[in-house]
Amino acid sequence: MPQAENKGLLIFFYVCIAVFSVICFAPFVLAVSGSLSTESRIAAEGYSFWPRGFSLETYQFLFGSKLEQIVRAYAVSLTVTVLGTVSAVLVTTAYAYVVSVKSFRFRNVFAFFAYFTMLFSGGTLPWYLLSTKYYHLDDKLIGLIVPYLLSVFLMFLMTNYFRSIPHEIVESAQIDGAGHLRIFIRIMLPLGRVGVVTISLFYALQYWNDFYLPLMLVTDERLYTIQYLMYTMMANIQFLASGNAAQVGGAIIAPPLETAKMAMTCLTVLPIAILYPFLQGFFVKGIVVGSVKG
């Protein structure tokens, strides 16, 4: 009898997890299907999980009349993500190394200096006024990078990785006359590479997905990231409609607004979806390490 009860519960569990997984996945099917539908049928019949009137006209429209904007937004996002991730990892690992050096008498001071910013924050408003009026980060590419160069959480995560490196290795290097710079670059970074890769991925994800900084600092269309382009599209459909009604054979064809949103969604998620299977393990490890000792 108990065996049967156990079996029933287990089947119920499998069903629950399967259903939730489907719910997690289904919205992306909806987006892909929407992007492959024709605008007129979406307008008439609504969205659907199966393409309505399968066509590539939306992508043709986007890659035709919107190509320049999309390519530029992609380029800005990519530049910000790559430059931002590299710089942030350098700044973060360097700081984390300083905090992790056991013999450094002020390491706790440095740790607290970073930690305090997690406790107390001046809030958005002073941050915004300083960034725009004093640092002049508005409408500059660097403004989309610099504010995120040191995540205190990832810094402490990195410190944990550095601390797990056997101290004897560092000691023997010191005996051989290696200074801190050499130890950091030649020993800590290579031996802590799992940590370095992990925080790189977290930074890359943050930079790629961010639309807080463009929202605060960017008005120049040339600096729109792919996320922010998406936002302006959603918040203001006029972006697509303005003066871009394509003329084909004398007839004015309205731009496909609804399907374009779905197509942009697919284009924005695509890089993440491609890399996700290879990289998710690092995120899982990072989250576990971070939550255990964060």
Partner 1 sequence: MVQQATPRETNERLAKRQAVSFGRLRKSIGRDAPLYLLALPGIAVLILFAYLPMSGLILVFKNYNFNDGIFGSPWAGFANFEFFFSSMEDAIRATRNTVMLNVLYMLTGTFFSVAIAIVLNEMRSKWFVKITQSVMFFPYFISWIIIGAILFSLLDYDKGILNQSLAALGLSQVDWYSSPWLFVVILVLANIWKSAGYGAIIYYAVLQGIDTSYYEAARIDGASRWQIIMRITLPMLIPSIILMSLLSIGGMLKGDLSMIMGVTFLNPLLLPTTDIIDVYVYRTAIRSGEFGFASAITLYQSVFGFILVLVANKMAGWYDKDSKLF
The region of 63-71, 192-200, 243-251, 267-275 touching partner 1 under the rule CB under 8 A is 267-275
- CB-nearer residue toward partner 1: 102 or 249: 102
Residue choice 98, 157, 199, 257 for contact with partner 1 (CB under 8 A): 98
User: Least distance in Å: CB of 163 to partner 1?
Assistant: 12
Query: Taking Cα atoms as reference points, which of 211, 200, 207, 273 lies closest to residue 24?
Result: 273
Backbone dihedral region for residue 55 (phi beyond 0: left; psi -120 to 50: alpha; all else: beta):
beta
Q: Which of 58, 61, 95, 161 binds partner 1 (CB under 8 A)?
A: 95
Say if CB 227 and CB 206 are below 8 A apart.
Answer: no
Kindly tell me which of 105 and 167 has the beta carbon lying closer to partner 1.
105
CB 38 within 8 A of CB 53: yes
State which of positions 162-181 bind partner 1 (CB under 8 A). 179-181
Interatomic CA distance for residues 163 and 184, integer angstroms: 13
Cα distance between residue 275 and residue 200, in whole Å = 14
Under rule CB under 8 A, which residues in 224-243 are in contact with partner 1?
Answer: 227, 230-231, 234-235
- Shortest distance in whole angstroms from residue 53 CB to partner 1: 14
CA distance 24 to 173: 49
Tokens at residue 82, please? Answer: 């790559």
Q: Does 2 bind partner 1 (CB under 8 A)?
A: yes
The binder of partner 1 chosen from 130, 194, 253, 274 (CB under 8 A) = 130
Q: How far is the CB of 277 from partner 1 (least distance, A)?
A: 7
DSSP 159-175: HHHHHTS-HHHHHHHHH
Question: Smaller CB distance to partner 1: residue 55 or 209?
Answer: 209
Neighbours of 225 (CB within 10 A): 28
Residue 6 beta carbon to partner 1: minimum distance, rounded to whole angstroms: 4
- Smallest gap, in angstroms, from Cβ of residue 248 to partner 1? 25
Give the nearest distance from C-beta 45 to partner 1 in angstroms: 8
Q: Residue 249 Cβ, how far from partner 1 at the closest point, in Å?
A: 28
> Any contact of residue 278 with partner 1 (CB under 8 A)?
no
**Binding to partner 1 by residue 203, rule CB under 8 A?**
no
Pairing of β 251-253 and β 246-248: antiparallel
> How far, in Å, CA of 167 to CA of 280, rounded?
30
> Could you tell me which residues are beta bridge partners of residue 246?
253
Ranges within 50-89 binding partner 1 (CB under 8 A):
none
